[in-house]
Amino acid sequence: MNILVTGAAGFIGFHLISQLQKDNNNKIYGIDIINDYYDLNLKYDRIKILGFDRNCIKEGHIIQSNIFDNLFFIKIDLNNKKKLFRCFDEYKFDIVYNLAAQAGVRYSLTNPYAYIDSNISAFLNILEACRHYPVRHLLYASSSSVYGLNTKIPFSTKDNVDHPISLYAATKKSNELMAHVYSHLYNLPTTGLRFFTVYGPWGRPDMALFMFTKKIIEGTEIEVYNHGQMSRDFTYIDDIIETLIRLKDKIPFVSDLSILSPEKSSAPYRVYNIGNNSPVDLQHFISLIESELNRKAKIKYLPMQPGDVANTYADVADLFETVSYKPSTETRFGVKKFVEWYNNYYQIV
């Protein structure tokens, strides 16, 4: 089976490839443009573990891992339709995981055009490529941010998500709508993945756990919004990857025309929440980091940040029904694993 993972140098993409390559029946192709949204060294260090030397990476050229025989990497901008289509034509992908995106709610307030380029235009190219070079299943990253102003909790995929409050969230909602159109018009099986606050080793520097850990070690203030009155459904990376692998072969199918709801359709289309189903108070989350670091945080309390939400909480009943699995890693364990990685990676004594 030929599997494509976009966003291969990213947090989730890197971890997913690490697991997928263990099955020798798979050939895994990773694509990433490796932009400078955050530390390039972190991105290159991730894929170095997969056997890709940064000095060998040239845009548009495929290279094979020097560790794993079934693993390949191509540096491509997904907005380069010609090069992307050439990859689909040459390598005949069966499964596509589209994890490439411009992430971050707060960054979207100051750099809105990056989200249209990466999350709308690039995703359209993925859809078009999957249409013209048919794949068995397209799975793509959405976000819990699509729930926006919804107040009913836990957030359910059966709920309407028509009131996003950040451009990032709006682009992810758009991805779901675009996917449905292609599922309906071209019978393309698509599965949307609404991730809830993913964390763990090799995580992104713009995420709370990473920033808090760094600043607590440095002895500088951490910024806590909404005066600390926030909670998040923190979801450990290993649970995310296990879910993605289980969903790979759960291909949506054309169903009865009477079926129509926000999370599924008569078209081969599904959307799932992927969250821990157990929100954690942000103050408690900070205390777990403090405990692992054996240091106290200096906290600067601030009003709610525009585009942010106070609480997230995932209803994962339909996910469990489909794959007989739901994320369940305890936050204390996940924070411990992250801090261990952070100390090792940055050589903190």
Cite the active site residues: 168
173-195 as b/e: b if 16+ CB within 10 A: bbbbebbbebbbeeebbbbbbbb
Rounded distance, CA 13 to CA 7, Å?
5
Token readout for 329 is: 């890693």
The SS3 assignment for 137 reads strand
Q: Among 305, 327, 307, 331, which Cα is nearest to 316's?
A: 327
Cα–Cα separations (whole angstroms), residue 18 to 15, 132, 190, 299: 5, 28, 23, 36
Dihedral of the alpha carbons of 109, 111, 113, 117, in degrees to the nearest 10:
-110
Q: Which residues pair with 16 in a beta bridge?
A: none
Rounded distance, CA 310 to CA 304, Å?
8
**Residue 89: count of CB within 10 angstroms of its CB:** 11
